[in-house]
Amino acid sequence: MEYKQAILVRQDLKLPAGKMAAQAAHASVECIFRADKSLVKAWRAEGMGKIVVKVADEKELYSYVQQAKDLGIATAVITDAGHTVVEPGTVTCAGIGPDTAEKVDKVIGKLKLA
């Protein structure tokens, strides 16, 4: 795969699966709006490869997001409105890319699948 998107989810929140799915979708979409259109087009043509990986907590999440920013990769940090499961404004997950798999893997290559 030449292009990919990564979604980082906080493990410490222990979100219910459906909540995690909604937040991950939010991250994916917001990142697509922010990413370079030609990258999005190439990524979509290739089947929209994406990977959902675990980060320990908010601090770790932001450290990976910063690494992505430093490489010029589109990012989106998602906070939950907090009506139900978590406190309002809680950072739940982040999107990184789509961008080249080579660049994305530089950031998230060592993280484990969620």
Residues 71-110 interacting with a second copy (rule: CB under 8 A):
81
Residue 92 CB, shortest distance to a second copy, in Å, is 11
CB contact set of 33 (below 8 Å; sequence gap of 6+): none
Q: How far is CA 111 from CA 37, 51, 60, 71, 82, in A?
A: 27, 10, 11, 17, 27
Is 44 or 70 the residue whose CB approaches a second copy more closely?
44
Residue 48 CB, shortest distance to a second copy, in Å, is 6
CB atoms within 10 A of CB 56: 11
Which residues contribute to the site for a second copy (CB under 8 A)?
7, 9, 17-30, 32-33, 44, 47-48, 50-54, 81, 113-114
